[in-house]
Amino acid sequence: MSKLELKNLVVSVEGNTILKGINLTVNGGETHAIMGPNGTGKSTLAQIVMGHPKYVIESGEILLDGELMNDLPVDERSRKGIFLGMQSPVEVPGVTNFDFVKSAVSVRLPKDQHLRIGRFILQFEDAAKELSMGSGLSHRFLNQGFSGGEKKRNEILQMKLLKPSIAFLDEIDSGLDVDALRIVGENVTKMKSPNLGMVLITHYQRLLDYIEPDFVHIMIRGQIVKTGGKELITKIDQDGYDWLKAELGVTDFEEKQPQYSLGTCATNTAVNSVTK
Ligand SMILES: Nc1ncnc2c1ncn2[C@@H]1O[C@H](COP(=O)(O)OP(=O)(O)OP(=O)(O)O)[C@@H](O)[C@H]1O
Ligand SMILES: [Mg+2]
C-alpha cells in the first residue's frame, strides 16, 4: 500500500509563487477530490507531483512511501508508481498510441523481465473496449487529432495498463459527453483498490457522482483552505465558493496587485510629465 505525502509544499513557476504551503497525505485505497476556482493551483499541484521541470519547489517535500521525490525526474516517478492524467493531454506526432503505452509499460518491468507482446495486445484491446474506444485509435499517433473526449479516455486507457499506485486525474471529466463520463467513471471506480491512492481534480459534482471520494479539499490561491466529505461537493455545486470568503475572513480571493504611490512609479511620473 503506497503513501504520498506533501509537506508544506511551496512551488513557483517562472518566478511566481503558485502553491503556498500544501499539506496533503494520500494513502492507498483513498480517493481524494480537489476542487477550487480557476487558476488556484490545482494543475500546478498535479504537475509538481509528477515532476514537470517548469515548476520549481521552493520549499517543502514530496514523499512516496517515505522516500523524497523532490529531485527525481518524471520517468523515475512514473516507475515508482505515480501517474498523471493530464488536463490537456499533449499530441505527439510520429509515435503511435500503442507504441507509447507499450514502451511505458516495458520500461517499468523489472530488468530480468520482458513484455509478452501477445498478452499485452490483448490487454490493450480489452482496456480500449472497456472504454468504448474505437480500435483505430491504437494505431493513430498519440492524441493527434483526437477529440477532447477521446484524449481523456486515452489517459484512462494508459492508467489501466500502467497500474499506478498513486494517480492524479486532472479534470478527467472535461470534454466528456454524458455516456463517456459514465464509462470513464465506471472504469476508474473499478480500479479502486487498497493499492491505489487517487486524487481527482474537478469542478463538478457529476464526476464525483460516479467516483465517490473519501475526502474533498477546497483549494484557493495555492492553499488547501478546507477539507471535508461529500457534503462539500453539494455545497459548491449549489453555492459556488463565495460563502468561503466569510468563513476565511476575506473580501476577495484575487491576489492583491502591488500598490505604487504617485511619484515613485516611473510610468505614472512619465504620464504626469506628459499631461502637464
Ligand atoms: N509561466 C507562468 N507564469 C506566471 N503564472 C503562471 C505561469 N503558469 C501558470 N501560471 C499561473 O498559475 C496559476 C495556477 O494555474 P493552474 O493551472 O495550476 O490553475 P488551476 O487551479 O488548475 O486552474 P483551472 O481550474 O483553470 O484548471 C494561474 O493563475 C496561472 O495563470
Ligand atoms: Mg487546472
* Distance from the alpha carbon of residue 137 to the mean position of ligand 2, in angstroms: 26
- pLDDT in the model for residue 265: 35
- pLDDT in the model for residue 165: 97
Q: Which atom of ligand 1 is nearest to the CA of 37?
A: 25
The dotted CATH code for 3-275 is 3.40.50.300
- pLDDT in the model for residue 255: 57
Rg value, the chain, Cα:
21
* Distance from the alpha carbon of residue 10 to the mean position of ligand 1, in angstroms: 14
Q: Does 33 sit in the ligand 1 pocket, CB within 6 Å? A: no
Q: Given phi > 0 = left and psi -120 to 50 = alpha, else beta, which region is 175?
A: left
- pLDDT in the model for residue 161: 96
Judging by beta carbons within 10 Å of its beta carbon (0-12, 13-18, 19+), is residue 237 exposed, middle or buried? middle
- pLDDT in the model for residue 151: 94
The residue whose C-alpha atom lies closest to atom 30 belonging to ligand 1 is: 39
Q: Model-level pTM?
A: 0.90
Could you say which residues of the chain have pLDDT below 50? 256-276
- pLDDT in the model for residue 272: 34
pLDDT for 203-240, tens place per residue?
999 999 999 999 999 999 999 999 999 999 999 999 99
Q: Which atom of ligand 1 is nearest to the CA of 203?
A: 25
Closest ligand to C-alpha of residue 45 is 1
